[in-house]
Amino acid sequence: MKRLLLLLSLFVIGCSDKLEPAPDCGGCGLEVHASNLQMDSDGSYKLEYNENLSQTYTMLDAITECGWSQHLQWDTDYKYEIVDGQWISLVNPGSMTDDNGDAHVMFSAWEDFIGYTVTVYCGYTDECGVHYLDSIKIKVVDEE
């Protein structure tokens, strides 16, 4: 009987799933900013439109403190109709974090957006199912 119990317990232990450490859910966050743009007193950023280009663009940054390979999703509250019926966001839809938990994405505006204040959204869900969302506002101006 002892041998049967021993064999049965060895079988159960040998066939069980490998134990994996629980994910660390305490160190993540999200902060989006535009380090190449000036911030106005109202907290929005100002993008000066370059009339010599068909688009004016800048790099946006996100800090997650969540480490490498976190997929971030991006979107804007305005879209641009690139051709009839084909609308695109003013920001690339996705980016990945580096070893430090930082990510970057391109934002671009066409001449049609001069005078608009565009809200850029960024978000992700960590390994524990916690959703993070942040946004910034960018005013597209032609003051030069």
Q: Which pLDDT band holds residue 89 (cuts at 50, 70, 90)?
A: very high
Higher per-residue confidence, 22 vs 38: 38
Query: pLDDT at residue 10 above 70?
Result: no
- 103 in a domain, yes or no? yes
Assess contact for 62 and 122: CB atoms under 8 A.
yes
- 12 in a domain, yes or no? no
Assess contact for 113 and 141: CB atoms under 8 A.
no
How many domains are contained in the chain?
A: 1
Assess contact for 141 and 45: CB atoms under 8 A.
no
Tell me, what's the pLDDT at 97?
A: 95
- 80 in a domain, yes or no? yes
- 33 in a domain, yes or no? yes
Look up the domain containing 66 and give its range.
28-141
Cα dist from 20 to 16, 17, 23, 72, whole Å: 12, 9, 9, 25
DSSP conformation letters of the chain: -HHHHHHHHHHHHHHSPPP-PPP--SS---EEE-TTSEEPTTS-EEEE--TTSSEEEEEEEEE-SS-TT-EEEEEES-EEEEETTEEEESB-SEEE--TTSEEEEEEEEEGGGTT-EEEEEEEEE-TTS-EEEEEEEEEEE---
- 106 in a domain, yes or no? yes
Q: Which pLDDT band holds residue 67 (cuts at 50, 70, 90)?
A: confident
- 102 in a domain, yes or no? yes
| CATH, residue 53 | 2.60.40.2550
Query: pLDDT at residue 6 above 80?
Result: no
Tell me, what's the pLDDT at 80?
A: 96
- 21 in a domain, yes or no? no
Q: Which pLDDT band holds residue 66 (cuts at 50, 70, 90)?
A: confident
Query: pLDDT at residue 82 above 80?
Result: yes
pTM metric for this prediction: 0.82
Query: pLDDT at residue 123 above 80?
Result: yes
Residue 129 CB neighbour total at 10 angstroms? 8
- Lowest average pLDDT, out of 16-25, 42-51, 119-128, goes to 16-25
Tell me, what's the pLDDT at 17?
A: 54
